[in-house]
Structure 1
């Protein structure tokens, strides 16, 4: 038997290494490595050295879940964590449920609560909803289009968006969902223009979002139709090009321009570890840093990787990440959310947003 099994705490890091979401893969991997190195520089996890095993979360969800199951059945995993789509998360949950802790770091549609599942990302209730409220209130936008990928997160987020817009006296005049991996949005852009929309919610991932923003601006819609996205990091911004992101608002729990002590400290440590030529971190990448730090805090607080014991102490767990000192409640991290306006290479933060009290 391999003695390393008892000397290391093995984490399956699920992040997109391929596919349209692969654009955020390098920053996700390096962010997780930074968290691993920081944990190992102290006491590790349960006194054991943390080891990351990269799993490509950009593949078909069934394929990803099968790899996790194979590793788990072979006794090769103590936990899983990472940034990937809700479709992948839904496939992985039945594999890990009750067996090992699973820290999911992406924004998602909300509502999941399973033993051993802990979520650091934003939900529509604290991310999309207050951003919609701000834009309707400040700019009077009443005719909204929605474009998203065709899976659970965009579809549920779109439903929540439509419901809140009705409550604000606005409406959805066009909505459509494209398969993951779509690059041609010409018909979509034309449909948005013909609908008379004066605002568009963009629920596309990675390269799909990049292609959409380029074609949206290329058709001149950015002159009169603002955009709002909960998923747009600095890597995607640079890929889209500054000339194509005029009037693009983004709601997120983290931006690299966030001028807090925790954010600045994280950026400095990342640069020291990986150099000035390292990928831009962004919200999606840094979430893997927080995921590994939260995983370490949970297991060390419980004194074991036993899911039942971790669950019993989870609400008393806190940790420090790139967004400051964060707390876990009912399996989710409580966090501030910010609204920003896209610039040529980064985001100008407008301020913190919270859901309105009707």
Structure 2
């Protein structure tokens, strides 16, 4: 095993291999292609500028849609062999919790998904939005704009939705609202009838959707078919354009999303990224969306960390006098501790697009 790892390392001194951990199947598999394309574009652009520490960046795609312990076993095995130099990816918090203790002390690990917050494992860096950053102001703005005050949480039954649901109860109280019910369903739920009946019985006028990928799509369609959209809004922190397209225009009425990036974001940085992405992968490629584009950010942050420290050893978070920053599709960003600071937005679904209504 050790001789194999040494052989791998000696053969690729000019190559930097990054395990890209993204869902290729399961409910979140719908965003896998945009994650891979976005990370590939970032790697290609970094390589055109000289790579990371003068090494060519190559991606090793790992299916993050498997059971968390299986993903952790596979990635930890690659790290132990010396077959990858860093780990980047969008995957569930359950996968992150299984993976971080096994690799974060060995290689840089950059987690790009919006998540519940609170990750402090040394060696883990996070580009995604957190509940405190986006959920509290989004709920407050929607309460003010729509008058909705009775929230029902509908989430997948694992760590991110469970923790976020607890946080949402506090946020609701702070905006003089309340969470009147919470419903958790297994991943890959096909039938949402029981959940819809709970929403209706609760008298909720707003739903906090904490569902992944295809589960969110099926819920949106069932929600609208039941007529609940006529008196109940929905807010999601994991809804991008790919999921909106799959949902369909007829099931998007009253749907809101919060994120750090939308394809409709009209900044010079986002417009440039959208143009480069379309030129590289063509008009038929899935849109990047906030979920896929986060992997572009993850690769850029890896480059910024390595360039700042001139090393790929596991970096400590920057101190108060130290600035680690870069510019990407979300604008000029910098690390505060182990989290990326960024602008966040609230958007309303308009058929098959998102109309940004406020910066959070």
After TM superposition, is the score higher than 0.5?
yes
Displacement of 1:97: 2.3
1:43: which partner in 2? 50
The aligned residue for residue 16 of structure 2 is 9
1:310 & 1:114 partners in 2: Cα distance?
A: 10
SS for the counterpart of 2:69 is helix
1:292 counterpart = 2:311: no
CA distance in 2: counterparts of 1:231 and 1:150, whole angstroms: 15
Match of 1:263 in 2: 270
User: How far apart, in 1, do the equivalents of 2:358 and 2:74 lie?
Assistant: 41
Q: Please point out which of 108, 119, 129 is paired with 2:115.
A: 108
The 5-angstrom pairing of residues 85-234 of structure 1 reads 85-234=92-241
Residues 1:322 and 2:335 are matched in the alignment = no
Alpha-carbon contact 1:314-1:331 (below 8 Å) kept: no
Residues 225 and 9 from structure 1, CA distance in 2 versus in 1: closer, same or farther, beyond 3 angstroms? same
Structure 1 residues 272, 219: closer, same or farther in 2, change over 3 A? same
Q: How does 1:269-308 map to 2 (within 5 A)?
A: 269-308=276-315
Over 3 Å counting, the alpha-carbon distance change for 1:142 and 1:321 in structure 2 is same
Q: Deviations over 1:170-196 (max 9, x none)?
A: 211111111111121011011101111
- Unpaired segments ≥5 residues, structure 1: 354-358
> d(CA) in 2 for partners of 1:314 and 1:320?
20
Q: TM-score, normalised by structure 2?
A: 0.95
Checking the alignment, whether the CA contact within 8 Å between 1:302 and 1:313 is kept in structure 2 is no
Residues of 1 paired with 2:104 and 2:32: CA distance? 25
- Aligned counterparts of 1:229 and 1:314: Cα–Cα separation in 2: 36
SS in 2 for 1:145: strand
Determine the structure 2 residue equivalent to 1:356: none
User: In structure 1, what is the Cα distance between the partners aligned to 2:105 and 2:332?
Assistant: 27
CA contact (8 A) 1:315 1:331 kept: no
1:255-292, Cα deviation, whole Å (9 max, x unpaired) = 00000000000001101111111111100000000100
Secondary structure at 1:295 match in 2:
helix
- Shift in Å, 1:168: 2.1
SS at match of 1:286: helix
Point out where structure 2 has 5 or more consecutive residues left out of the alignment.
1-6
Partner of 1:338: 345
- 1:81 alignment partner in structure 2: 88
Residue aligning to 1:25: 32
* Cα shift at 1:45: 1.0
* Matched length: 353
Stretches (4+) displaced over 3 A: 308-315
Provide the C-alpha distance between the structure 2 equivalents of 1:327 and 1:44, rounded to a whole number of angstroms. Answer: 20
How far, CA to CA, are the matches of 2:203 and 2:267 in structure 1? 40
Q: Is the 8 A contact 1:302 1:310 kept in 2?
A: no
Say whether the 8 Å CA contact 2:317–2:338 is kept in structure 1.
Answer: no
CA distance in structure 2 between the aligned counterparts of 1:312 and 1:75, rounded to whole angstroms: 29
TM-superposed CA distance for 1:138, in Å, is: 2.0
Aligned match of 1:56: 63
What's the TM-score once normalised by structure 1's chain length? 0.96
Greater Cα offset, 134-143 or 344-353: 134-143
Contact in 2 for aligned 1:128/1:230 (Cα 8 Å)? yes
How far did 1:315 drift? 4.5
Secondary structure of 1:109's counterpart equals coil
Distance 1:328 1:114 in 2: 15
Aligned CA-pair RMSD: 1.4
Q: What's the offset of the Cα at 1:314? A: 10
